[in-house]
Structure 1
Amino acid sequence: MSLQLLLINPMMRFQVKRRFKKNPDVMTLRPVMQAMEPQNAKLPADVTAQQITLGGVPVEKLTATAAESSGAFFYIHGGGWVAGSPRTHRPLTHRLATQTGMAVYAVDYRLAPEHVFPAGLDDCVAAYRALLEEVPAHEIVVGGDSAGGNLALALALRLKAEGIPLPAALVCLSPATDLAATGGSRISNAKRDALFVEEMMETVEGRYCPGADPLNPYISPLHGDVANLPPTLFHVGDTEMLLDDSTRMADKMRAAAVSVTIKVWPKVPHVWHLMADLLPEARQAIDEIVVFVQIHRRAASGLEKAS
Structure 2
Amino acid sequence: MPSTAVTTISAGLGLLPDVLKRSAMTRPLRRPRGKAAPRGLSLLYDVTEAPVADGLVVTASPRSREASAGPGAGRHLFYLHGGAYTLEDQHWPFLGLFIARGWTVHLVDYPLAPEHTVDQTVPMVMAAWQHVVDLAQGAPVDLAGDSAGGALSLVALQEIRDGGLTRPSRTVLLSPWVDAVMSDRATVAAAPADVLLSLRGLHGCIELYRGDRHPSDPWLSPINGGLHDLGTIQSWVGTAEMFQPQCERLADLAAAAPGTDHELRLGHDLPHDWALFPVPERDLLVEEMVSFLTASPLAGR
Interval of TM-score (by shorter of Structure 1 and Structure 2): 0.7 to 0.9
Give 2:57's aligned amino acid: V
Provide the residue aligned with 1:73 in structure 2.
77
1:252–1:22 distance in 2 versus 1, CA, 3 Å: same
Q: Does structure 1 retain, via aligned residues, the 8 Å contact 2:3–2:280?
A: yes
CA distance in structure 1 between the aligned counterparts of 2:171 and 2:138, rounded to whole angstroms = 12
Q: Which residue of 2 aligns with 1:280?
A: 280
- Matched with 1:216 is 217
CA–CA distance in 1 between the matches of 2:235 and 2:125? 20
| Counterpart residue type for residue 263 of structure 1 | R
Q: What corresponds to 1:37 in structure 2?
A: none
Return the TM-score normalized by structure 1: 0.84
Q: For structure 2, list consecutive stretches of 5 or more residues without a partner in the other structure.
A: 32-36
**CA–CA distance in 1 between the matches of 2:241 and 2:156?**
24
* Counterparts in 2 of 1:54 and 1:132: CA distance versus 1, 3 Å: farther
Q: What is the CA distance between 1:24 and its match in structure 2?
A: 2.9
Q: Tell me the alpha carbon deviations over residues 217-252 of structure 1, each in whole angstroms, 9 at most, x when there is no partner.
A: 121110011101021111111011111222111221
Secondary structure of the residue that 2:145 maps to in structure 1?
Answer: strand
Residues 91-110 of structure 1 mapped to structure 2, 5 A cutoff? 91-99=93-101, 101-110=102-111
Answer yes or no: is the 8 Å Cα contact 1:139–1:167 preserved in 2. yes
Change (3 A) 1:45 1:202: closer
Letter in 2 for 1:151: L
Distance 1:114 1:203 in 2: 14
Contact 1:157/1:218 (CA < 8 Å) preserved in 2? no
Instruction: Please say if residues 74 and 139 of structure 2, whose CA atoms lie closer than 8 Å, have aligned partners that are also in contact.
Output: no
Identity %: 24
**In structure 2, do the counterparts of structure 1 residues 230 and 64 end up closer, same or farther at CA, with 3 Å as the change threshold?**
same
Q: Answer whether contact 1:92 1:274 (CA < 8 A) is retained.
A: yes
Q: Does 1:83 align with 2:93?
A: no
Return the alpha-carbon distance in structure 1 between the equivalents of residues 39 and 3 of structure 2. Answer: 24
Please, what is the CA RMSD of the aligned residues? 2.5
CA contact (8 A) 2:147 2:177 kept: yes
Cα distance 1:236–1:127, how it changes in 2: closer, same or farther (>3 A)? Answer: same
Deviations 1:254-291 (A, max 9, x none): 21042112111122221111113xx1011111111111
TM-score of the aligned structures, taking structure 2 as reference length: 0.86
Residue by residue over 1:75-125, the C-alpha shift from the partner in whole angstroms, topping out at 9 and shown as x without a partner, is: 000000011243xx01211112222x2101000111111011121211110
Q: What is the aligned partner in structure 2 of residue 53 from structure 1? A: 50
> Using the alignment, how far apart are the partners of 1:146 and 1:29 within structure 2?
18
| 1:207-286 equivalences in 2 (<5 Å) | 207-257=208-258, 258-276=260-278, 279-286=279-286
Question: Corresponding residue for 2:8?
Answer: 7
Q: What SS is found at the alignment partner of 1:232?
A: strand
Query: Contact 1:145–1:172 at 8 Å: present in 2 too?
Result: yes
Alpha-carbon separation, structure 2, partners of 1:287 and 1:45: 25
The number of residue pairs the alignment matches comes to: 284
